[in-house]
């Protein structure tokens, strides 16, 4: 067993017991990451400064300094989170040369906590996609079976955790982009309450939905990373100032687990259905109380999600015009031509499709029927979730209808979008949710269980997931 | 055809003089080297987020109070999307559906009539950068220093009916902005600009189709642009043509407006709520305390000066427009030692000339209302001659001091004592019998000679007006 | 109401290859049809959560001008560049 095959918490302890050095952990993890780069393609850029960061941690340990639990732990950062001096591409030709002159708040937190940022992980272009196959740097393959996708959009982050190319990772979740790849790669992915983690420096896809989430091999690992970034930042005014005190007990007894009738009426693979049902049964067996609940608008959430996220994306991605940063077409003549050519050559097909959809739903004559109706549905959905959480503490649901996404098959966007039905409701309502491994399908591909909590009950989500992990769920099954 | 009437509405953009920009901590300054006043936020770097400056809200609310607007305790920021090289995020953060200030109105004095102009709304938004067209560079250079400078946009109802009304309205708005201390309104810096909507109709009939005039960078340009637009539209209507809904660009150098966009290719700004910002919420206490900071405003002063003190509109404007002059004038009125008219005359005349010549404000001179009142009173009573009063005033402005003491020191006292002047008149007539005879024989200019002699005899101290009256009386009674 | 895909691409400053236009349009209409299936909801203004306002005190952005401009395609006289604008 190599160092990179341990959990982050185990390594944190080994570091303190001087059983290994941060540099050894880093070099071991980097070696694994590089070995697998050709087959998995989890990284876009490796960080040349990482070794120095690891050495700095070793020096601090030698000096007897008090360190955080993530100090010296190799962490992958999704390539839409700005890192000063290290390129941040969003897996787009548009930003293939872009070097941010500042660090995202979450990255600042990692650096000051002594984390070793091993590199920037691959993803869907501008986080738009479900298979990490829309990006400029090629698809991310699933370490469990390389003919499958790692999921998306944080595919590189989830994959690197799965094969030991990083111990922890930051991803971003707009409509499921942390939870879904975590589910497909068999790791834990947490999407915090909207407003619990600063978005400053996260390159925007859909501002009212975007969140930075932690990915790890276990609930506890994921939890320690989330704790580092769950800190107030005045630079993001959409942050809440509610910060929960976190500690994991893992008690399932008496926890009321809601099962949303409408979600289980949706299509999903039999293997997925049986794994998720088995997980819920296991929780019940260990003291949880299962309740069937109804959230009538939950299935329309995915339609409203594509309207709102695309609308915001069309505006957020309008700034890529080739003037201040990013790709500029050589063949541009007039101003209008430069805009058109730079954007058309710089963006990939999926991004263009979303920008087009977003432009349309906001345009004159259509805004009322699309954007405003979607926003109204979103408000109704929030109200329905509120009611639901009067009847239960946690909602259990699948993460994705399938256990695996075959790479290379051409897919109809409508089918791809519709498959987000389980992850987007909590995205739309700003709720915290987690994906935790809960079994495998016939081909051995992992299946995830999603647990959703009420707004700012992030601790409860972690605790329920931890409880489930303790009684047999999780990666170590 | 009955006579056409022009109907005009304005959208006035004023830069606010806050310390920092609207959404970032960059300094709000003018005239710095290109792109020296920018940061990741205002240059729209990926991943950055805006933070709304509280002062911008305060300033907008103050203007709302000044224009009698309903203040919205809850308002929202929206995105206005369009591509242009001066707009780094490709959207302007503005307010669309729920502005910070709603309906209001402003009373202005046009001619001798009070006109009430409806205010539709006031909202806050960010300014765009500056594009430079350099002779040496075949293209456009973008300086983003102005990006994120806070603006308020004041939108009026289509209540203005003539260029004269527009001129007076804009003068009042500018004056108010300065009064409440929220904008410098320096035209040469483009800190106040407006878009103009003009339509024509026959009185008592529905409003016509309007055209919007953009790129109007000064108030005088607004007046010129509107005049042009009225002529253009009138000509079309008189030739039985139809006015189309258009956006036109005003070229002030050439004095013409040029079609930018018509109805078919109108801009679609795709407004939607700014997801990076929360709701703007103002407490009652904050709204009320901002209201308490609003002094009596120039438009109200103008109306009062005209109706109560008999000043004409332009005199009233000249005094009311400048807080220092208005303060001086009103302190004189409170003292009521002199006529408001005499104080007004001195302020509009010599004092304004001095201030214009030196670029100083009243507060930067040694002049006080106390002494100005005393000086005006002395002049009214003939204690000092009008030229003597000018000398005293100049002394008061430059060096201060007491009016009586200055008159004394400079020997400017004028003798208005009746008995002294009678004796003087008698002496002069007695010594100039020939002139007295000439006057009686109808040579009226002989009177000036007699007055001149009296002044000479009194060493210039006699009150020439009174001397004239007395001599005239004496000559007439002698007949 | 008729949906004009070319007009939308103009608004978005995007170009759709002429040979792919028809298939793009067909797919686009499918997506629009999918998302348009929304239940009728009472509207009303969309109000985000209240926010804290910033004090009007200058802050150093912490990034110097050279760094801020280092990603630009071209810098002339400390300015970003763009093709000649039609209006001025
Ligand atoms: Mg405006
Ligand atoms: Zn700035």
Establish if C24 belongs to a structural domain: yes
Cα nearest neighbour of B270 on chain C? C11
Residues A92 and A198 placed together within one structural domain of the fold: yes
C73 with A99: Cβ contact below 8 A: no
More confident residue, B460 or A83: A83
Q: How far apart are CA B315 and CA B322, in angstroms?
A: 12
Q: Is residue A462 part of a domain?
A: no
From A321, which residue of chain C is nearest by alpha-carbon distance?
Answer: C13
Report the pLDDT value the prediction gives residue A241, as an integer from 0 to 100: 80
The answer to whether position A348 is within a domain reads: yes
Chain B, 236 to 275: residues with Cβ < 8 Å from chain C are 249, 260, 268, 270, 273, 275
Q: What is the DSSP string of A28-58?
A: HHHHHHHHHHHHH--EEEE-TTHHHHHHHHH
Res. C88: pLDDT tops 50: no
Q: List C-alpha distances in Å: A41 to A26, A152, A202, A448.
A: 19, 13, 22, 22
DSSP 8-state secondary structure symbol assigned to residue B443:
-
Say yes or no: A100 contacts chain B, CB-CB below 8 A.
Answer: yes
Note if A177 is an active site residue.
Answer: yes
Q: Given this model, what pLDDT does residue B182 score? A: 96
Query: B457 CA distance to ligand 2 centroid (A)?
Result: 75
Q: How many domains does chain A have?
A: 2
Put simply, the chain C residues between 13 and 72 with a CB less than 8 A from any chain A CB are: 13-16, 27-28, 30-32, 34-44, 46, 48-49, 51-52, 54, 62-63, 67-72
Q: How far is the CA of A190 from the centre of ligand 1 (A)?
A: 41
- Say yes or no: A168 and A83 in one domain: yes
Do A196 and A55 lie in a common domain? yes
Tell me the per-residue pLDDT of B445-457, one tens digit each, with 9 for 90 and over.
888 888 888 888 8
Any idea what DSSP says for residue A81?
A: B
Q: How many CB atoms lie within 10 A of CB A12?
A: 22
Q: Neighbouring chains of B at 3+ CB pairs within 8 Å? A: A, C
Residue C27 falls inside a structural domain: yes
Q: Is the pLDDT of residue A475 over 60?
A: no
Per-residue confidence (pLDDT) for residue C1, from 0 to 100: 66
The answer to whether residue A270 sits within a structural domain is: no
Instruction: Please tell me the predicted confidence (pLDDT) of residue A40.
Output: 98
B76 close to C (CB below 8 A): yes
pLDDT of residue A196: 96
- What separation in Å is there between the alpha carbon of B94 and the centre of ligand 1? 7
Selecting from A297, A339, A375 the residue whose C-beta is nearest the C-beta of C13 gives: A339
The answer for residues whose C-beta is within 8 angstroms of residue B417's C-beta and 6 or more apart is none
A417 and C9 in contact by Cβ < 8 A? no
pLDDT of residue B151: 97
Strand partners, B94: B78
Instruction: Please pick, among A78, A93, A120, A341, the residue that the annotation labels catalytic.
Output: A78
Q: Please give the interface size between B and C, counted as residue pairs whose CB atoms are below 8 Å apart.
A: 130
C-beta separation of A248 from A219 below 8 A: yes
Which residues from chain C sit within 8 angstroms of residue A326, using beta carbons?
A: 71
| C87 DSSP 8-state letter | -
pLDDT at B94 over 70: yes
Catalytic choice (A82, A121, A177, A183) = A177
Active-site choice (A21, A92, A149, A153): A153
* pTM score of the predicted model: 0.93
From chain B, the residues in CB contact with C77 under 8 A are: 34, 134, 137, 141
What is the Å distance from ligand 2's center to A404 Cα?
A: 45
Q: How far apart are CA B286 and CA B138, in angstroms?
A: 51
Domain boundary among the residues A362, A379, A412 is at: A362
Q: What is the pLDDT of residue C41?
A: 78
Determine, for residues B49 and A200 on separate chains, whether the beta-carbon distance falls below 8 Å.
yes
Q: How far is the CA of A73 from the centre of ligand 1 (A)?
A: 50
Residues B345-396: tens digit of each pLDDT: 999 999 999 999 999 999 999 999 999 999 999 988 888 888 889 999 999 9
Per-residue pLDDT of A3-46, as tens digits, reads 999 999 999 999 999 999 999 999 999 999 999 999 999 999 99
B28–chain A nearest CA distance, Å: 19
Residue of A82, A208, A312 with shortest CB distance to B47 = A82
* Mean pLDDT, residues A413-436: 97
Contact A314 C12 (CB under 8 A): yes
For residue B217, what pLDDT is reported?
85
Residue C87 clears pLDDT 60, i.e. is over it: no
Contacts of C8 in chain A (CB under 8 A): 356, 359-360, 363
A330 CA → ligand 2 middle, Å: 30
Region label for B108, one of left (φ > 0), alpha (ψ between -120 and 50) or beta (otherwise): beta
Q: Which residue of C has its CA nearest to A351?
A: C14
Counting residues of chain A whose pLDDT is more than 90, the rounded percentage is 95
| Range of weakest confidence among A67-81, A183-197, A305-319, B247-261 | B247-261
Residue A153 is a catalytic residue:
yes
Query: Among all chains, which residue has been given the structure tokens 């996404």?
Result: A405
Contact with chain C for residue B277, Cβ under 8 A: yes
Residue A206 lies in a domain: yes
CB contact under 8 A, C80 and B279: no
Predicted confidence at residue B128, as pLDDT, reads: 96
Calpha distance A146→A150 (Å, rounded): 8
ipTM over 0.95: yes
Query: Are A360 and C67 a contacting pair at CB < 8 A?
Result: no
Question: How many CB pairs below 8 A link A and B?
Answer: 99
pLDDT at residue A389 is higher than 50: yes
Cβ separation B141–C88 shorter than 8 A: no
Q: Which of residues 293-352 of B touch C (CB under 8 A)?
A: none
Query: Residues B278-302, buried b or exposed e (16+ Cβ, 10 A)?
Result: bbbbbeeebbeebeeebeebbbbbb
Q: Mean pLDDT over residues B244-268, rounded?
A: 91
Same domain, A106 and A193: yes
B415: Cα separation from own chain's centroid: 42
Mean pLDDT of B173-181: 94
Q: Which ligand is nearest to the CA of B92?
A: 1
Contact B25 C57 (CB under 8 A): yes
Name the minimum distance, in Å, from the CA of B278 to any CA of chain C: 5
Residue A456 forms part of a structural domain: no
Comparing CA positions, the residue from B256, B224, B230, B260 lying closest to residue B243 is B230
Whether A409 is in a domain gets the answer: no
Domain limit, last residue, from A172, A203, A229: A229
Q: Cα of B25 to ligand 2 centre, how many Å?
A: 6
Please say if A93 is a catalytic residue.
no
Query: Residue A332: which of C43, C49, C83 has the nearest Cβ?
Result: C83
Is residue C16 in some structural domain?
yes
Residues with CB under 5 A from ligand 2 (ion): B 24, 26, 39, 41-42
Give me the pLDDT at residue A477, please.
Answer: 43
Task: Give the minimum alpha-carbon distance from A181 to chain B in angstroms, rounded to a whole number.
Answer: 23
From the list C46, C61, C78, which residue is nearest B34 (CB)? C78
Which stretch of B12-26, B159-173, C57-71, C74-88 has the lowest confidence by average pLDDT? C74-88
The number of domains in chain C is 1
Does residue B476 register a pLDDT over 90? no
Please report whether residue A180 resides in a domain: yes
Query: What share of chain B in percent tops pLDDT 90?
Result: 75
B79 touching A (Cβ < 8 Å): yes
Query: Per the structure block, which two tokens stand in for B397?
Result: 């402005």
pLDDT at B1: 60
Q: Report helix angle A349-362 to A301-316, nearest 10.
A: 100
Nearest CB among A356, A370, A414 relative to C14 is that of A356
Ligand number, closest to the Cα atom of B95: 1
Averaged pLDDT, A360-378? 96
Q: What pLDDT does residue A476 have?
A: 45
Question: What percentage of residues in chain B have a pLDDT greater than 70?
Answer: 99
Contact B26 C58 (CB under 8 A): yes
- Indicate the pLDDT class of residue B408, thresholds 50, 70 and 90: confident
User: Any residues with CB less than 8 A from the CB of A274 and at least 6 apart, and which?
Assistant: A439
Structural domain contains residue A388: no
CATH number at residue A176: 3.90.1300.10
Q: Which residues of chain A have a CB within 8 Å of the CB of C40?
A: 373
| B103 at C interface, C-beta within 8 A | no
* Range C33-58 average pLDDT: 88
Ligand 1 mean position, distance from CA A72 (Å) = 51
Quick check: A417 and C86 CB within 8 A? Answer: no
Determine the structural domain holding residue C28 and report its residue range.
5-36
Residue range of the domain that includes A154: 3-229
Kindly state the average pLDDT of the residues A209-217. Answer: 98
Please, is A355 exposed, middle or buried when counting C-beta atoms within 10 Å of its C-beta (0-12, 13-18, 19+)? buried
Half-sphere exposure for B318 (CA within 13 Å, toward CB): 17
Partners of C65 on chain B (C-beta within 8 Å) are: 35-36, 38
Residue C9 lies in a domain: yes
């Amino acid at each position: 067993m190599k160092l990179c095959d341990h959990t982050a918490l185990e390594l944190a302890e080994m570091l303190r017991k001087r059983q290994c050095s941060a540099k050894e952990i880093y070099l071991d993890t980097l070696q694994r990451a590089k070995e697998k780069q050709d087959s998995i393609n989890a990284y876009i850029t490796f960080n040349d400064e990482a070794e120095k960061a690891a050495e700095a941690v070793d020096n601090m340990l030698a000096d007897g300094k008090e360190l955080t639990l993530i100090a010296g732990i190799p962490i992958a950062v999704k390539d839409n989170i700005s890192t000063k001096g290290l390129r941040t591409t969003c897996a787009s030709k548009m930003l293939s040369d872009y070097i941010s002159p500042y660090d995202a708040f979450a990255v600042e937190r990692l650096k000051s906590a002594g984390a070793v940022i091993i590199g920037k992980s691959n993803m869907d272009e501008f986080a738009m996609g479900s298979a990490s196959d829309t990006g400029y740097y090629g698809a991310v393959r699933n370490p469990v079976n390389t003919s499958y996708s790692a999921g998306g959009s944080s595919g590189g982050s989830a994959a690197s955790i799965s094969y030991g190319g990083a111990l922890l990772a930051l991803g971003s979740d707009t409509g499921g982009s942390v939870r879904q790849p975590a589910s497909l790669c068999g790791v834990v992915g947490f999407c915090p309450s909207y407003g619990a983690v600063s978005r400053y420096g996260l390159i925007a896809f859909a501002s009212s939905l975007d969140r930075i989430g932690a990915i790890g091999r276990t609930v506890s690992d994921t939890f320690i990373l989330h704790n580092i970034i769950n800190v107030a930042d005045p630079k993001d005014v959409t942050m809440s100032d509610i910060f929960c005190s976190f500690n994991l007990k893992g008690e399932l007894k008496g926890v009321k687990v809601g099962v949303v009738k409408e979600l289980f009426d949706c299509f999903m693979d039999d293997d997925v259905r049986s794994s998720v049902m088995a997980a819920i049964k296991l929780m019940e067996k260990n003291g949880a109380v299962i309740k069937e609940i109804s959230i009538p608008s939950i299935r329309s959430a995915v339609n409203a999600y594509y309207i709102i996220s695309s609308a915001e994306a069309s505006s957020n991605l309008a700034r890529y015009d080739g003037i201040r940063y990013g790709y500029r077409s050589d063949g541009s003549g007039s101003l209008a031509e430069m805009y058109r050519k730079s954007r058309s050559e710089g963006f990939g097909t999926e991004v263009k499709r979303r920008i087009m959809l977003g432009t349309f739903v906001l345009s004159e004559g259509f805004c009322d029927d699309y954007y405003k109706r979607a926003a109204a549905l979103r408000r109704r959905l929030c109200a329905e979730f509120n009611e639901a959480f009067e009847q239960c503490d946690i909602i259990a649901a699948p993460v994705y209808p399938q256990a695996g996404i075959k790479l290379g098959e051409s897919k109809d966007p409508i089918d791809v979008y519709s498959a987000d039905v389980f992850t987007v409701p909590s995205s739309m309502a700003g709720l915290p949710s987690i994906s935790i491994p809960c079994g495998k399908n016939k081909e051995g591909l992992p299946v995830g269980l999603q647990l959703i909590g009420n707004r700012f009950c992030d601790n409860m989500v972690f605790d329920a997931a931890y409880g489930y992990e303790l009684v047999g769920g999780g990666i170590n099954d | 055809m009955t006579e056409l009437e022009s109907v005009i509405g304005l959208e006035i953009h004023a830069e606010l003089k806050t310390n920092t920009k609207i959404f970032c901590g960059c300094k709000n300054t003018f005239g710095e080297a290109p792109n020296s006043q920018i940061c990741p936020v205002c240059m729209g770097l990926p991943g950055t987020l805006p933070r709304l400056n509280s002062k911008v809200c305060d300033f907008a609310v103050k203007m709302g109070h000044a224009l009698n607007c309903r203040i919205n305790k809850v308002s929202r920021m929206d995105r206005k999307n369009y591509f242009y090289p001066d707009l780094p995020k490709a959207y302007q953060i503005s307010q669309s559906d729920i502005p910070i200030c709603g309906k209001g109105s402003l009373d202005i004095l046009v001619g001798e009539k009070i006109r009430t102009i409806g205010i539709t709304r006031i909202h806050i938004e960010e300014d765009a950068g500056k594009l430079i067209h350099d002779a040496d560079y075949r293209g456009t250079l973008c300086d983003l220093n102005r990006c994120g400078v806070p603006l308020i946009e004041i939108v009026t109802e289509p209540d203005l009916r003539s260029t004269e009304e527009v001129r007076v309205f804009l003068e009042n708005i500018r004056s108010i902005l300065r009064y409440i201390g929220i904008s410098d309104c320096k035209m040469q810096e483009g800190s106040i600009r407006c878009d103009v909507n003009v339509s024509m109709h026959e009185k008592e009939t529905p409003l016509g189709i309007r055209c919007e005039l953009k790129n109007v960078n000064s108030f005088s340009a607004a007046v010129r642009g509107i005049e042009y637009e009225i002529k253009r539209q009138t000509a079309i209507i008189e030739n039985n043509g139809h006015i189309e809904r258009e956006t036109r660009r005003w070229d002030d150098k050439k004095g013409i407006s040029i079609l930018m966009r018509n109805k078919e290719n109108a801009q679609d700004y795709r407004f939607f709520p700014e997801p990076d910002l929360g709701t703007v919420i103002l407490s009652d206490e904050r709204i009320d305390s901002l209201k308490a900071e609003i002094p009596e405003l120039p438009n109200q002063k103008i109306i009062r000066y005209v109706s109560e003190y008999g000043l004409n509109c332009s005199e009233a404007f000249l005094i009311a427009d400048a807080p220092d002059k208005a303060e001086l004038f009103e302190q004189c009125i409170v003292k009521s030692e002199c006529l408001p008219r005499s104080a007004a005359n001195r302020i509009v005349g010599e004092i304004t000339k001095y201030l214009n010549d030196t670029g100083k404000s009243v507060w930067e001179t040694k002049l006080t209302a106390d002494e100005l009142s005393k000086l005006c009173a002395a002049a009214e009573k003939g204690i000092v001659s009008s030229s003597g009063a000018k000398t005293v005033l100049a002394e008061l402005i430059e060096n201060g001091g007491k009016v009586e003491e200055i008159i004394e020191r400079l020997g400017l006292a004028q003798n208005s004592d009746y008995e002294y002047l009678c004796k003087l008149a008698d002496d002069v007539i007695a010594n100039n019998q020939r002139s007295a005879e000439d006057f009686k024989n109808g040579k009226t200019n002989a009177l000036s000679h007699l007055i001149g002699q009296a002044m000479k005899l009194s060493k210039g101290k006699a009150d020439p007006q009174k001397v004239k009256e007395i001599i005239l009386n004496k000559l007439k009674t002698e007949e | 109401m008729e949906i004009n895909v070319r007009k939308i691409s103009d608004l978005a400053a995007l170009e759709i290859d002429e040979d792919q236009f028809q298939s793009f349009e067909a797919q686009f209409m499918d997506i629009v049809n999918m998302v348009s299936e929304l239940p009728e909801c009472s509207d009303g203004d969309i109000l985000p959560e209240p926010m804290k306002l910033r004090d009007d005190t200058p802050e150093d952005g912490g990034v110097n001008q050279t760094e801020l401009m280092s990603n630009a395609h071209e810098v002339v006289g400390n300015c970003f560049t763009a093709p000649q604008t039609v209006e001025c």
